[in-house]
Amino acid sequence: MKTIVLASLSPRRKELLESIGLSFKVDPPAEYKELKSKSMSAHELVKQNAIGKAQSVAQNYENAIIIGADTVGAFKDHILEKPSSHEDAKRMLHILSGKTHEVLTALCLIDTETGIKQVAVESTRITFVEMSDHDIETYLLYGESMDKAAAYAAQGIGSIFVKSFDGDYFNVVGLPMYRLNLMLKGFDISLIDIVN
């Protein structure tokens, strides 16, 4: 059985894999610097970052499946990454208030034995309720915005502002589980057979 390696610092991705009883290793891509290009589409940006993370870790393993992932929010032509400051988080939440946006997660899986690589982007549409200035300021005080794409946690306090989901909830958390399983099947690995 190949070692499965999660090339990510995200505690939420780690928790999702642990929650199904998967045996895996965490090896964050320390050498990779995430792209922040304004000239790329959100789809292209998450794809390139997921590939970069997976490739930077893949070189350390001879017989493993590397999972690289990247998540961003997108509203029209705005890419909503992790906020750089309190003001940036506030700006993003004002953009999202009362609107529908997309959360995109790219997955890049690399089989280090064969060099075969698979890449996919999963999209979930989320509609927010209207948020008052008070709602936004108070939410920001809880501190869960700063390490989240689009400045909110759908699995945390931010859930009270989510009116509806169209797509995979786990994609919003940062790891679309059904898509991961489909991609692993491309390497003749089925999650149902290796979890406990």
Catalytic center residues:
70
Please name the residue that has the structure tokens 């997976």: 54
- Give the integer Cα–Cα distance in Å for 182 and 104: 17
- Give the CA distances from residue 181 to residues 18, 90, 173, in Å, rounded to whole numbers and listed in that order: 15, 35, 16
**Cβ-contact 82, 137 below 8 angstroms:** no
Sign of CA dihedral 139, 11, 70, 172: negative
The type of residue at 94 is: H
